[in-house]
Amino acid sequence: MATKAELAIQAPALEERPIYGAPELKRLYQKYFTAGFLIAVVIHALIIGGYYLAQALQKEEQPTITVRILKYSELGPPPSITNTQATPQIAVSGPVVKPSVGVPVPVPDAEVSPEQTIASQQELSSISSPIATTGVGGGDSIVIASDVKVEEEPPPDFVPVEKLPVPVKTVVPEYPELARRAGLEGTVWVKIWVDKEGKPRKALVMKSDAEIFNQPATEAAMKFVFTPAIMNNGPVAVWVSIPFKFTLKK
């Protein structure tokens, strides 16, 4: 059985027990604070970076105009430069004029009037050549319009060209006030039918981020002016696509 002296030796002194309090916290808080701050920065950077990365991946690439180069032997005859066709010729017969002389008939000499004369050869020939005269009667008439223009049809989506249209006049679309107040931004892709004179004939919306931007974009597209597309040394009608970006100034 241990004595009181042995028990005193085995019990640790109060001064030798570890101390954990304010001094220990002051010594360790800097290390743990720095580690926690760095971890928080990394987590926020991953969240924000992941958001912008997802936006960039979802954003589609800008459509491009595909042009296929063909040989002259593969192409058909070039389209006509003029839009007019020959005026149809309609044969209209004139009114038949009654003959001014009668047909000579042999009669006895006693019945011949001294005032009666025989028609000359020229007068007889006029019988077979009716003369058409102009008058103010109520008869029907045929009116033939000259310079009849044929309505031009839209070109196909793909037209082989040697030179693409180039905008020489551009118009900035008007920003919708409602979209400005709401802070909306977006892009509208418009397909424009450019005729042989380089003028827009029709504008169609191919893709739009917001429907509110469609009308201003198409109205601006119809005010563009292009150089005509060239094929076989002549102008041709083609479709071109133009992006209209609506962004607010920061």
Answer whether residue 149 shows pLDDT above 90: no
Mean pLDDT, residues 66-91 taken together = 62
Structure confidence at residue 52 as a pLDDT band (50, 70, 90): confident
Structure confidence at residue 120 as a pLDDT band (50, 70, 90): low
Between CA 226 and CA 172 the distance in angstroms is 15
The closest of 156, 166, 162 to 233, measured between CA atoms, is 162
Note whether 220 and 39 are within 8 A (CB).
no
- Highest mean pLDDT among 26-30, 58-62, 84-88 belongs to 26-30
- Highest mean pLDDT among 23-32, 64-73, 146-155 belongs to 23-32
Answer whether residue 223 shows pLDDT above 70: yes
> Which residues, 6+ apart, have CB-to-CB distance to 112 below 8 Å?
none
Strand-pairing partners, residue 149, are 84
Rounded alpha-carbon distances, angstroms, from residue 241 to 48, 171, 207, 238: 34, 15, 10, 10
Structure confidence at residue 188 as a pLDDT band (50, 70, 90): very high
Structure confidence at residue 228 as a pLDDT band (50, 70, 90): very high
The beta strand positions in the chain, using DSSP E, are 167-169, 186-194, 200-208, 225-226, 229-231, 234-236, 238-246
